[in-house]
Structure 1
């Protein structure tokens, strides 16, 4: 299956708010809005609505870790990207979509030239960590406290 990553727009904000309030997302994602209209204009973060066959079911974002001073991925090479995502529609979880769309997105970022991609799930989020490992991510140091909470940094490298 192929997934479409279309840019998130202000019209998607109600959908994103509904998804982020869902228990399976709220458990791991900050309860605040994932973004607002001004955030959508930030060139250092690209926000995506993920659609298999035209029906939105997930959110993804990729960002420049060098754009934020002191970011824990700032030591990755220039051009590296950080990523975050969640499946918003609960009925779509546990069916392989997370692994599949993440694998596709990682391949796209590498094809765009990213030498490495970082992500930082909560260390207790075993399901997310297992998905990242399937796609080629490995632990990148010990868990640490980021401004948004406890995280386990993980990195995938192009060609690895």
Structure 2
């Protein structure tokens, strides 16, 4: 697995949106994410939402992935009983030649190190139960499944990683 130090997270800007839309159109991303134009519009809307943070992930200085983190609302019970300092994350790797070589677990691990150092207690995510590739990457990054449920986006395997 690549070293966590090789990754950087910079906030998404308006200038990044065309690149994100190209990535969202890639077959390996589009299978699990929504309509690319709609997803980009949602990312743009989230610029003004203080609960959301969106990042372009860089490896060795080159953009290759998207990661968003969000505060879990207190009334959102889909992530179960959890500490107050819990965030959810969603992410994808854009270029297909960067998939399947260890970048997913490594970048998620690097992000976890960052947010745990900032005081977060838990990170949760909710991949589709059929997305075996993502689930394996999350397990490699230290996440464990704790539930399966139906969300507004469809079936989800609920996974979490706690700060050590």
Q: What's the TM-score once normalised by structure 2's chain length?
A: 0.89
**Residue aligning to 1:101:** 107
One of 9, 15, 20 as aligned partner of 2:19: 15
* Contact persistence 2:65–2:94 (CA under 8 A): yes
- Counterpart Cα distance in 1 of 2:72 and 2:160: 12
* Contact persistence 1:66–1:74 (CA under 8 A): no
TM superposition shift of 1:26 = 0.6
5+ residue gaps, structure 1, are none
Secondary structure of the structure 2 residue equivalent to 1:66: coil
Matches within 5 A, 1:6-155: 6-31=10-35, 32-34=38-40, 35-66=42-73, 69-73=75-79, 75-141=81-147, 143-155=148-160
* Contact persistence 1:117–1:156 (CA under 8 A): yes
**Number of equivalent positions:** 157
TM superposition shift of 1:36 = 4.1
TM superposition shift of 1:70 = 2.8
Secondary structure of the structure 1 residue equivalent to 2:46: helix
Decide which structure has greater strand share: 2
Structure 1 residues 119, 36: closer, same or farther in 2, change over 3 A?
closer
- The superposition leaves residues 64-107 of structure 1 with CA deviations (integer Å, 9 ceiling, x where unpaired) of 0126x435126321111111110011111111111111110111
CA RMSD of aligned residues (A): 1.5
TM superposition shift of 1:21 = 1.1
Q: What's the TM-score once normalised by structure 1's chain length?
A: 0.92
